[in-house]
Amino acid sequence: MKLNLKAQTDTSRNGKSKLSVTAKRKTKKTPLYVLLIFIVMQLAPAFFIAPTMGYFEGQGLDEATARMTTTGWLIVSSMGIGFVATLILVLRDKRFFDIWKGKRTGLPMAFVWGVLGFLLLLIGQSLAVMIEMAIGIDPGSENTMALVSVAEVVPLTILAIVLFAPVLEELVFRRVIFGSLNQTTNFWVATAVSALAFGLVHMEMTHLLTYFSTGLVLAFLYQKTKRIITPIIAHVLLNGYVMAIQLNMDKIQGFLKELEKLQ
| Structure confidence by residue, pLDDT tens digits, 7-36 | 444 444 555 444 444 445 555 789 999 999
Handedness of CA 84, 45, 197, 243 (dihedral sign): negative
Q: What are phi and psi of 116, to 5 degrees?
A: -60, -35
Where does 135-248 have alpha helices with state H? 142-153, 157-159, 165-169, 179-184, 187-201, 208-225, 229-247
The predicted pLDDT at position 64 comes to 92
Mean pLDDT to the nearest integer, 156-182: 94
Residues with Cβ within 8 Å of residue 169, at least 6 apart in sequence: 198, 235
- Contact predicate 78/44, CB 8 Å: yes
| Structure confidence by residue, pLDDT tens digits, 119-135 | 999 999 999 999 989 98
| Structure confidence by residue, pLDDT tens digits, 100-118 | 888 999 999 999 999 999 9
| Structure confidence by residue, pLDDT tens digits, 151-166 | 999 999 999 999 999 9
Mean pLDDT to the nearest integer, 75-93: 95
Flag whether pLDDT at 213 surpasses 70: yes
The predicted pLDDT at position 21 comes to 43
Domain positions in the chain are: 2-262
- Contact predicate 141/209, CB 8 Å: no
Global confidence as pTM: 0.86
Low-confidence winner among 59-68, 93-102, 118-127, 247-256 (lowest mean pLDDT)? 247-256
Distances (CA, A) of 208 to 129, 154, 215: 10, 28, 10
Where does 107-170 have alpha helices with state H? 107-134, 142-153, 157-159, 165-169
Mean pLDDT to the nearest integer, 217-244: 95
